[in-house]
Amino acid sequence: MTEMGVESGRDTRLVNEVPAFLAYLRVEKTASPLTLVSYRTDLDQYLDFMAGFKGMDKTAVPVACIDNLTTRQYIAEMYRHELSRATIARKMAALRSFVRYLCRENLLDGNPIVNISTPRQEKKLPRFLYPMEVRMLLEAPDPKTPGGLRDKAILETLYAAGVRVSELVGINLDDLDLREGWIMILGKGRKQRLAPLGAKSKRAIVNYMDRGRPVLLARNSTSNPALFLNRFGNRLTARSIRNIINKYVEQLALHQKVSPHTFRHSFATHLLNNGADLRSVQELLGHVKLSTTQIYTHLTKDRIKTIHEENHPRR
């Protein structure tokens, strides 16, 4: 016999449902490790709020405590702590997904937060580099050292293929087809796509594989399938890639923040500025929705103005 849609005999404290929810995301939704970490953190903070709001121990908060009122109070609390709209939207996305899971498991009788709207986010245009700045960064690594050869290959790949940093560190040797100039990329949702390489990025990867990677790999007692290795011969992490980029940004005294995603933004912007169509760029970036790619059209206004000036009869 069940009450209010709750399965009989099942311990329905929120703290016990989070691990099962994360396992569901990992297995059935093929969520990335970064997504799982983010959701775990956001839900843990939500449990902290609920415990304080209800005046009970965090481990004792029941599923039934989730309702419209407490969720609105949760949003208000995040505003009081001056969290950005983007952060609030992300935390609410985690909570919405969790609540849908609880409904799916018959632990909630209907979705109590379905009518709560997420704060509208400010539309921020992504940062990008100008071609000269990209060129300076690509030429910064020292090709006389194993690390320099690796860093050169990393930067060239980021710019040539427009890959996400998580995709970059996941590249294995078997994913490369240097003869045809392709990399098999495992993207979000474990979806595969082919990312093209140009002549310069291919050359950088070949030089690294010939003269850099063997030196790094020799520092590890076991073999490693990863393309990009750290100084101990292990797979590089996303944080390591960011540190590598920061090193060259500081070395060149570029007075702006540059991340791996900045290379991705630059890749898309430069393609569009040079005449690539939006759907092709969508395919290259691995975006599911065209609307996600359309943000880059706002960055090409200089190109549009130039075309207008060169071709309009009343220029």
Beta bridge partners of 183: 176, 195
Q: Which residues are catalytic?
A: 164, 188, 261, 264, 287, 296
Q: Provide the β-strand partners of residue 193.
A: 185
Rounded Cα distance, 304 and 185, in Å: 32
Query: Is there a contact between 252 and 132 (Cβ–Cβ < 8 Å)?
Result: no
